[in-house]
Amino acid sequence: MTTLPVFRLREGRGKLLVSIPHAGTYLPEKIRERLRPIGRAVVDTDWHVDKLYAFLDELDVTVLTATYSRTVVDLNRSSSGGKLYPGQAETGLCPTETFDGEKLYEGTPPDALEIAHRVELYWRPYHAALAAQIARLRKKHRRVHLLDAHSIRAEVPRLFGGRLPDLNFGTNDGASCDAAVVERAMAAAGDRFSHVLNGRFKGGFITRHYGAPADGVHAVQLEMAQRIYMDEVWQETFEPARAAELIGVLRQVVEALAA
């Protein structure tokens, strides 16, 4: 039995659905007690992304937000495993190390049976809800737009060289979304923050799996560099004043996708 709902859901009537799969920090006690301190610190969380998008409650947007840490299971990976970016470092379905390569577990990491159990408890409910919301909105709208919202430290040498652009839009090299849709979103972002399309982050499993332009579903991942809105050392501290400018830009992007 889980002690916390796997996700929070707010249903809207508009054509935009926002997925926030990595902002959760909750660790079940039986998993927490096996983790090293670095694991219990959930350092690779997409910190405060749910707070950055808090304005969505004012709009007629559907929002699905995960509550459990990606350390438990990564909702943006396929349940069957596999690599998103062959030849490049990345963490897996049930991570055993941090983005920097530090081991998460004191002893034995989860085996195949435990991974399958976590998929059933945490991964499948989130994706069932995501698929159901897409289907619900598809009945109401000719086109549905899915924004998969993420953030990461601006510099993670093991994953990418140099400093990440501020806003990283991904459409799986155009396969998950019509060009006009993402171009409208990028134009709405303006020029206050640097941005790139299909750079290091082209979209994870959610973008690639659910984006189906031919069927009227257009999916975009937005990966943000955390340095532009938070202190990357004191990760748990959210500073609304520091994040205010980015929140304004995100609202413009959301409004462009929801229009």
Tens of pLDDT along 73-87? Answer: 999 999 998 888 877
Summarised one tens digit per residue, pLDDT across range 19-44 is: 999 999 999 999 999 999 999 999 99
Domain membership flag for residue 211: yes
What is the count of structural domains for the chain? 1
pLDDT reading at 3 higher than 80: no
Q: Taking 60 as the threshold, does the pLDDT of residue 2 lie above it? A: no
Structural domain including 253 reads 7-258
CATH number at residue 98: 3.40.630.40
pLDDT value of residue 89: 75
Identify whether 2 is part of a domain: no
The CA-atom distances, in angstroms, between 121 and each of 8, 41, 114, 118, 204 are 15, 22, 10, 5, 21
- Assigned token pair, 40: 């219990």
In a domain, 169, yes or no: yes
Q: State whether the Cα torsion 174-180-185-187 is positive or negative.
A: positive
Query: Phi and psi of 202, rounded to 5°?
Result: -100, 0
Q: Residue 227's CB: how many other CB atoms inside 10 A?
A: 16
Q: Is residue 42 part of a domain?
A: yes
Quote the pLDDT of residue 1.
46
Question: What pLDDT digit, counting tens, does each position of 159-181 carry?
Answer: 999 999 999 999 999 999 999 99
Cβ contact 18:7 at 8 Å: no
- Give a yes or no: residue 239 inside a domain: yes
For tokens 């943006």, the residue is: 76
Kindly state whether residue 1 falls inside one of the protein's structural domains. Answer: no
Q: Quick check: is 235 in a domain?
A: yes
